[in-house]
Amino acid sequence: MWLKVLILILFAGVLISLGSGLRFLLKDMGIPESKRTLYVLGIRIALATLMMLLVFYGFYSGILHSQAPWDQRI
């Protein structure tokens, strides 16, 4: 259960980072030396990488399961 909660928190962080990146992009349009959009992009990439690693760990360890019909074992 803790893994699913952590994945949801990271997903929410990615969405928040995406929104703040859009806000910084629109707000700093006339400022060429502003790097806030790039910093938020780096944070978003780090959060998404960590989230993917947690999903891979969950499937590898058996904590997460796929419920797709074509994944059912007979």
In the chain, domain spans: 2-62
CB count within 10 Å of CB 60 equals 9
pTM for the predicted model, two decimal places: 0.82
| Model pLDDT, residue 19 | 95
Indicate the average pLDDT of the chain.
90
Number of Cβ atoms within 10 Å of the Cβ of 17: 20
Distances from the Cα of 11 to the Cαs of 26, 28, 30, 63, in angstroms? 23, 25, 30, 18
Q: Residue 43: is its pLDDT beyond 80?
A: yes
Q: What is the mean pLDDT of residues 5-15?
A: 97
SS3 62: coil
